[in-house]
Amino acid sequence: MPTMERTQIYLTSYQKKKLASYAASAGVSQSELIRQSIDTYINSVEETDKEKVLGDIAGIWANRQDLPDIRKLRKGWKDRPS
């Protein structure tokens, strides 16, 4: 189990009421529900970062003239004897 560090947060009355209600219906502490929510947020941000990187690098070699034509290479692979 990871080491826990105590922290304090400010919630609106509405947030506090909903937090208490959701935690009770899930059968977990409010702290656990907050930790789960933070983990979910972190994972979604990290996944978005991965998608952004993949989007940024997509097609970066599209205009390279020094690379062989992959279609010709693949055709050669198909035409060679087994």
Q: Does 4 reside within a domain?
A: no
Q: How far apart are CA 24 and CA 2, in angstroms?
A: 24
Q: How far apart are CA 57 and CA 64, in angstroms?
A: 14
Domain that holds residue 20: 13-79
Q: Does 36 reside within a domain?
A: yes
| Predicted pLDDT at 32 | 97
Going residue by residue through the chain, which has 82 residues, state the pLDDT in tens, using 9 for 90 and above: 789 999 999 999 999 999 999 999 999 999 999 999 999 999 888 888 888 888 888 888 778 888 888 788 888 777 666 6
The terminus-to-terminus CA distance of the chain in angstroms comes to: 54
Q: Does 1 reside within a domain?
A: no
Q: Does 38 reside within a domain?
A: yes
Q: Does 45 reside within a domain?
A: yes
Question: For the chain, how many structural domains are there in total?
Answer: 1
| Predicted pLDDT at 80 | 67
Q: Does 6 reside within a domain?
A: no
